[in-house]
Amino acid sequence: MFNRKSLLNFFSISVLLSLSYFAIAKENTRATLISENEKLIIDVRDQQFKLDIISNNKKIIALNDIYFNETAALKWTLYNTTDNTISLIGEFPAHVDFYALVTDTQPRMVTLTLNKVNGGFRINAEPTWGRTTSLHLTYLGDHFFGLSEPLQPDNQLSPDLTGSSINVDINSEDAYIHENYATAYSAFYISSFGYGSFFDSFARGRYDFAINGKNRITHDTGKLDWYIFPGKDGVDIQKTYYSLIGAPKTLPIWSLGPMGWRDQNNGGAKEILDDVKKMRELKIPFTSWFVDRPYADGAHAWSKMNFNSLFANPEQWIKQLREQEGVEFMTWTATATFGDTNVAKHLQGKFSYLDLTDTNTVEIFQKNLAEKQHAFGVKGHKIDRADEAFPVNEDWADVSIGIPSRRNQYSYLMAKVHDEALRKKWGDDQITFARSAYQRSQPYLSAIWGGDPRTSWEGLQANFANAMRASFMGFPVWGTDVGGYQGEGYIPENLYIRWMQAGSMTGLFEIKLDGAGGAGKDRMPWRYDEKFQKMFRSICNDRMTFLPYLYSLANTSATNGAMMQPLAYRHVNDKNTYDIHDQFYLGKAILVAPVMQDSEKRKVYLPQGNWIDFNNTAMSYTGGKTIEVQAPLDTLPRFIAENSIFVTGFIYQGSDRNWIRYLNWQGDITITATPSTKNGSTQFDYVDYKDGNKIKAYTMKKIGSKISIQIPKLKHDARLKILIPKEPTSVLLNNKPVEFNYDRQEKQGYLYLIPNTDNKVVLE
């Protein structure tokens, strides 16, 4: 029992401790976290805080306040600091907890934690009573890219979101408001000031950029989990991002060649076999094919998830496609049963979506995929829906997932469920691609396809604007429905060829060969004349030669960034790139500028540096300006960057194995190296399909007049092609003189590398 003296001592100590605490808090009004070239500075004055992030001596973030439930704190107090962590205590009025009793007038406290993390900083708080979180920032003059594959706002083609309000929430209404059913979103954006912003939540969000001099980030969750990743460009920034969310899913090589499909296969399996056979007869190579709905029994010709009578004996004809034609096979899927509610737990609504948080439901769905499809040789899925008519108010098995998170988290679960099922049968030798996607899907989703574009020039332009946004958002592999989706199948030759050219330089080259739902005459190449067929064949052959490069890019995206890189993704400081939606880098070596209008010329912006015409290596350009190039219908404008390496050649055969046969063939590649005009170095990470997918670093360095190129050993034939304006006086291969075949007109030379040994080439 306390006596009077002990009580006095107790209260005296308490008062002294409180006074000491507030004295410390008042004194420690500033704290700093330092990470390499970045600083996070928190300043607490007059019980409010300012948070700045400085990168390379430039302020990139100015956070003025954090609201929970649309309410500001009464006061913030600096509580604790270490080298890696800063903690603040925020005191909020009782009414911030709007489910509290009216008699409950106690303030609500929040601990805000600021941490150094790999590649940046994390800002975290988790009030149990939180429903929404808003970050209030000063607009500092930068530009913003990412968040939404749909063309918010106003169907604009430009990827620059400055001055806009952007919603981050998968929804079906966008198909009627914005261009097509492109429905990938991510709470991730890249700033021209050289940082990535990632709000790690499935909860829907809204982003206001440069409105009345302010930025605002709002998500409908009380959990604040915000990351800032400084970096010199999109590649650098996303490297850190992927280290947090997981590396993107690897792709098998067959998924990167030409992929064919009809929207409506009324002729069943026989029609698929006939289409592939006719392509073979025309010597047009394909590496994969898929069937879209309808092909199954049940509601909406899908709910039974089997192959119906038109596709009877799937094991037989899928095996024929693989073994005789050289084509892998995939199917359309959806985690919806369209009124058939016989399978476990559903979310009521028009499409009867499966509850993917219910373990039994997921097991049944995956079992059906395994037994009714994968067992017959199906190696991948085009995953549809999760955007259209999605119900959010039904009861989920996982009651922890609130309504604001359901649309986005469902798409994530959909990708994960499919990948798990395929992986049990095929390991890495399978793919998943969807139109509906959200952040953290990347480890489970091979690619996204850009929805259902209009079959028109405007549809082509808009779909590639979708592609640029997808890359900024952190989805490294993207594909278009070549030829467009909406409308009838048969389209003008020039639109078709231009779409083929553009599509051939995307991550997923899927060619739609009929109209929406099979409407009208199809667009098979044999419906057109021989001149058209020749161009169609040439584009598919070109794609096959790019497989070594594409395979390497797709399977090193965690460290080397998106396959299709918007110009602003690479050149964050170049304002001339911010609005460009119709040019992109393929990797870092090739700039692609497809013709997207009814024209045989176009303007091309070349960033700083020197460039060589891919189609005519005798032509070179100085960058930092816009040029106009001629582009006849059979020509795709492409440019090779200086100080770059890329690989082409033949390492895989699909259907072309039926007309191109090699004896003891192991592969044949050409490594193209373009040295810098100044001193410089570069590296290309080659994923060697012929050597157990080992990643081999091809390096090039130029110092003065000396060029050194190192190529780790290969198990097959390889040729090194070097683009240089003058013939070198000396060429050494592994310290010995070697024949260098130089073409003065083309301004390029080549030599053959030695198999099964490391190769070092030195030119002077």
pLDDT of residue 19: 36
**Considering the chain, what is the average pLDDT of its residues?**
95
3-state SS class at 347: strand
Q: Which residues of 303-316 are buried (b: 16+ CB within 10 A; e: fewer)?
A: bbbbbeeebeebee
Whether 2 shows a pLDDT value over 60: the answer reads no
Over residues 208-228, mean pLDDT? 99
3-class DSSP string for 216-276: EEEECCCCEEEEEEECCCHHHHHHHHHHHHCCCCCCCHHHHCCEEEECCCCCHHHHHHHHH
Amino acid type, 77? T
Are 348 and 391 in contact by the 8 Å Cβ rule? The answer is yes
pLDDT of residue 36: 86
Whether 179 shows a pLDDT value over 70: the answer reads no
Q: Which tokens belong to 158?
A: 């430009």
Share of the chain above pLDDT 90, in %: 91
Q: State yes or no: cis peptide before 248, omega within 30 of 0.
A: no
Nearest to 247 by CA among 692, 587, 565, 557: 557
Amino acid type, 295? Y
pLDDT of residue 463: 97
pLDDT interval class at 666 (50, 70, 90): low
Sheet holding 165-168, edge to edge: 30-35, 38-45, 48-55, 58-68, 133-138, 214-219, 205-211, 165-168
Whether 28 shows a pLDDT value over 80: the answer reads no
DSSP secondary structure letter of residue 297: S
Over residues 740-762, mean pLDDT? 97
Give pTM, 2 decimals: 0.95
Whether 4 shows a pLDDT value over 60: the answer reads no
pLDDT of residue 658: 96
- In DSSP terms, which residues pair with 336 in a beta bridge? 353
Whether 391 shows a pLDDT value over 80: the answer reads yes
pLDDT of residue 65: 98
Whether 177 shows a pLDDT value over 90: the answer reads no
Over residues 340-345, mean pLDDT? 85
Render pLDDT for 443-495 as a digit per residue (tens, 0 to 9).
999 999 999 999 999 999 999 999 999 999 999 999 999 999 998 999 999 99
E-state strands within 607-758: 610-613, 616-622, 625-630, 638-641, 644-650, 668-674, 680-688, 694-703, 706-711, 717-723, 731-733, 736-737, 741-743, 748-752
Whether 5 shows a pLDDT value over 70: the answer reads no
Whether 11 shows a pLDDT value over 90: the answer reads no
pLDDT of residue 348: 87
Over residues 101-114, mean pLDDT? 96
Whether 741 shows a pLDDT value over 80: the answer reads yes
Among 95-104, 227-236, 278-287, 592-601, which stretch is predicted with the lowest mean pLDDT? 95-104
Among 10-14, 267-271, 719-723, which stretch is predicted with the lowest mean pLDDT? 10-14
- Does residue 243 or residue 2 have the better pLDDT? 243
pLDDT of residue 694: 98
Alpha-carbon Rg for the chain, nearest whole angstrom, is 29
Segment holding 31, helix H or strand E: strand 30-35
Q: Which residues of 452-474 are buried (b: 16+ CB within 10 A; e: fewer)?
A: bbbbebbbbbbbbbbbbbbbbbb
pLDDT of residue 667: 72
pLDDT of residue 171: 86
Are 207 and 168 in contact by the 8 Å Cβ rule? The answer is yes
HSE, CB side, 13 Å, CA atoms: give it for residue 292: 23
Q: Which tokens belong to 581?
A: 């939606």
DSSP secondary structure letter of residue 656: G
Give the architecture-level CATH label for domain 644-763. Answer: Sandwich (2.60)
Segments making up each domain of the chain, as ranges: 644-763
Among 5-9, 260-264, 464-468, which stretch is predicted with the lowest mean pLDDT? 5-9
pLDDT of residue 686: 98
Over residues 398-412, mean pLDDT? 97
Q: State yes or no: cis peptide before 159, omega within 30 of 0.
A: no
Render pLDDT for 194-206 as a digit per residue (tens, 0 to 9).
999 999 999 999 9
Over residues 29-40, mean pLDDT? 94
